[in-house]
Amino acid sequence: MATQRPRVLQMGKMPLPALDADLAQEFDTTVLSAQADPQQFLAAHGSEFAYLVTSASIGASASVIQALPALRGISSFGVGFDALDQQSILAQSARVGYTPGVLDDCVADMAFALLLDSARRLAAADRFVRAGLWPTERFGVYTRASGKRLGILGMGRIGRQVARRASGFDMEVAYHNRRPVSDSPHRYMESLQELAQWCDFLVITAAGGDDTRHLVDAQVLDALGPQGFVINVARGSVVDEAALLDALQHQRIAGAGLDVFEDEPRPLPGLLQQDNVVLAPHIASGTQETRRAMADLVLANLRSLIANGQPLQEVPWSQAAAQARAG
């Protein structure tokens, strides 16, 4: 008799289509978003699922988690976990796996791509040439990146890789965290405002969530000043987007490079009219190599949850709660 495959509820389509196929082949998956009435489906069948697969962008709301009384584990595609309802997950003692580490290089690469584009106006230059303006107009003269001061908000895995790349551009690096990183060779700034005042480029690699919501506000942007740039490859919620738009419109900062937004996929309409901001559709980890590595870790975390009750890579608050329960 064939072994019954573990039942898995999948919140929606994964960012890598091959992962959808892999999940369907290895597990008995049901895609919640494909149901005619997802809420009614959860009410009728939610108790049948012990495992949930989602992504950082989709997350899992309190109503979904509460409709899964047998939930034991979640495997999430991505490093962000602010869209997962922490309170309801912890209330059910479910463990949560995610995919850190494997996307650090590509996100750091994207941070520098946005930094260089913001400084040199490469995307604007492309539009200039395509519009046929080169024969009759001069393109502007903008800012060099080499030798400038780079401030990093969030010296974690990705922040470290950004700092490493900065060395190739002879940039001086400083950072702000909740607390200093013991093994970092870079200067620690006690406050974000102090960091913004010091640096030419402020790169945001901090985690999302309530604790970091609108950390980069009008005051921080004013401290950065009219020669400064904001680069965000973290979470849109870390930046007060309305304040950023106002600063860009009134040239209180020089420019910005954004891969993330407060209300994805809908940036503030005013941002679309600004030529001093580079906009990308949340693609920092969007390379074939990285997305495949993330998919593999989603699968490995799910297998480990089913076999051992814990993922290989666990969200910090999930791991802390499990350790507390263990005593």
Catalytic residue annotation: 235, 264, 282
Q: Are 74 and 97 in contact (CB under 8 A)?
A: yes
Tell me the C-alpha distance between 60 and 125, whole Å.
41
- Name every residue whose Cβ is closer than 8 Å to that of residue 29 and which is 6 or more positions away in sequence: 7, 8, 9, 10, 23, 53
Question: If residue 246 lies in a helix (H) or strand (E), which one and from where to where?
Answer: helix 241-249
Q: How many CB atoms lie within 10 A of CB 244?
A: 27
Distance of CA 24 to the CA centre of its chain: 26
* 51, containing H or E segment: strand 51-55
d(CA 241, CA 110): 20
